[in-house]
Structure 1
């Protein structure tokens, strides 16, 4: 199966709420149009940035539908369908397939500590539920489960498994997964703070939660890596990291801060859902400074 359509910069899509905190079709379309206009290669819908664990099954289906109606045929669409139960994950997977998504992805099961055999069965049931290609999602810092290369190789025996979104922090993991999968498997860099390093070590693309706040910078970094201009790409990464550190220093959730950055850009996607914390009054000045950082970095690097 070709992995050509799964290259480049793929922002993790944010949950878009109305002023009452409900899923907003209009604001979802607004974010779709913004990202399409920026020239990103795809979107990853319903993951951590999409606040999936705080949404009902019906809400998650609605979001998948809104994005598909707006962006299908315009860019690559990846549906994250991981849920607390295999049954719900399979239901989401079938829904995404019916909507015409290009691929599925899922975190491992959460809360209970499960053996590899149970995790393998969980992913396999999702994979076997549709004809779509599948991307494993490894994010041990939030799920408590670390994907091993041995389980990765076992999952790759299914031809529908085309890669892994690796969000563990060691860049070594990207190299190991790429080494295990070879040229026909794509590894997505997960940690935005190491995008350039991850690409150099074998990641063919990136899926990230801060991409929408500064898509120009990640697109330019990706272009420079593809052209072998690693020192220049590293300089962009340094400025990206300064911005990420500033976003993480806000009193409210980083996602709330990013949504406020987008609001300053004219894209209103609402706030965040409790128990995530919204920004405080003291965050406003910090966000002004973050927007300036992004603008200055874009000019500096010709992004």
Structure 2
């Protein structure tokens, strides 16, 4: 299949709540439109940034529905359908297919330490449930499961497997997965802190959790890589990493800080779902400072590219 629609900057979509902490249709549409107007390639819906493990099956389906009805055909839409049980994952996969998503993706099952064969069967049953292409999600630092080259090659025997969202920290994994999977296969850079390095070593595109609060910086970074402007590529990665470190240094969770900054940018999508920590009063000054960091970096590198 033509994989061009998967090559580019794809923000991981945030969970959007109302004042009561329920999934908000209005806020979900607002965030989707905001990112569409930033000219990103697509959206990765229902993953870690979507707080999927803290939502019910119906809440996850609601978010998938709202995003699809609002942006289907406008952006590449990837549905993350990983759930604790194979049964729930299959239900989400079939629902995403009905909604017209472009591809499915899933982390391996969490909590129980499963052998490779169980993980292979889990992903295979998700793929068997629809005709959609599938993107493996490798994030060993949170799932405890590290995708091996042998399992990747076994999965590649299924023509529905078109890529891997690689969020392991060793950037070499991107090169190894790319080399092992062969042609017509997409490797996405996962860790936002190594966006430039991931692209240089072979990533075709990127999916990340901080893109939504500063999509311009990742789009600029991607342009610097494409034009072989490695001086500015390194510079902007440093700015991005400074911002990420600041986002992770608060009492509230990174996602709570991101949502607070989005609110300052005019996009209100609520707080985070417990046990994630919402922002504390002591975080407020730092949040304004981080917003200024983002604004200044966008202004500076926008002029560089002008």
What root-mean-square deviation, in Å, do the aligned CA atoms of Structure 1 and Structure 2 show? 0.7
Alignment CA distance shift 1:229-1:294 (3 Å): same
1:243 pairs with 2:248? no
Tell me the CA shift for residue 83 of structure 1: 0.1
Tell me the CA shift for residue 182 of structure 1: 2.2
Q: Please give the per-residue CA displacement for 1:169-211, whole angstroms capped at 9, x wherever unaligned.
A: 0001000000111231000000000000000010000100000
Tell me the CA shift for residue 76 of structure 1: 0.1
1:103 pairs with 2:103? yes
TM-score calculated relative to the size of structure 2: 0.98
Q: Which residue of the partner structure matches residue 87 of structure 2?
A: 87
Distance 1:104 1:246 in 2: 32
Q: Which residue of the partner structure matches residue 202 of structure 1?
A: 202
| Aligned ranges 1:122-161 → 2 under 5 Å | 122-161=122-161
Q: Which residue of the partner structure matches residue 4 of structure 2?
A: 4
The number of equivalent residue pairs is 303
Point out 4+ residue stretches in structure 1 off by more than 2 angstroms.
none
Q: Which residue of the partner structure matches residue 36 of structure 2?
A: 36
Distance 2:32 2:301 in 1: 25
1:212 pairs with 2:209? no
Local SS of the residue matching 2:78? strand
Tell me the CA shift for residue 119 of structure 1: 0.4
Distance 1:298 1:30 in 2: 21
TM-score calculated relative to the size of structure 1: 0.99
Q: Which residue of the partner structure matches residue 289 of structure 1?
A: 289
Local SS of the residue matching 1:299? helix
Distance 1:2 1:143 in 2: 30
Local SS of the residue matching 2:35? helix
Consecutive unaligned residues in structure 2, runs of 5 or more: none
1:254 pairs with 2:254? yes
Q: Which residue of the partner structure matches residue 180 of structure 1?
A: 180
